[in-house]
Amino acid sequence: MEILFSILYIIDCESVVHNVAYVPKKYDCISIDDDVVEMFANRMLEVDMNWHTIDVTGKGLAYCGITLIPPASLGPIIDVIDGFDQLLELRELLKQARQQNLYVIHFGI
């Protein structure tokens, strides 16, 4: 199985993330193998994120759903995945989103 990540390139993030649907093709996602995500998912259990909509806050990835990762949480996630060679593409995506102060969307299994 694959887990998908993408930057939300939108002007008004909050209006969009209230109505996010599971449509990964819309977001030009990168794909990470589920086994690789499992290696670091537990390390993110203290990182603030939003589950399924901007209105539901949680910690860590919504593994079986949609996670909206706010710009403030991108640095801690970059720290978590640092050292995983198979996550270079994800690390670059997260860094780009952080530089542009954008959300990242995660589509779980």
pLDDT along the chain (109 residues), means of 10: 79 53 70 89 92 88 89 96 90 96 89
* pTM, to two decimals: 0.83
First-to-final CA distance of the chain:
7
Listed in sequence order, the DSSP H helices in 18-67 are 34-41
pLDDT in the model for residue 64: 85
The separation between CA 36 and the C-alpha centre of its own chain, rounded to angstroms, equals: 14
Q: Of 91, 109, 96, 90, which Cα lies nearest the Cα of 29? A: 90
- The pair of structure tokens assigned to 70 is 């706010």
**Res 49: pLDDT:** 94
Q: Which three-class secondary structure state does DSSP give residue 21? A: coil
Which pLDDT score, from 0 to 100, does residue 108 have? 86
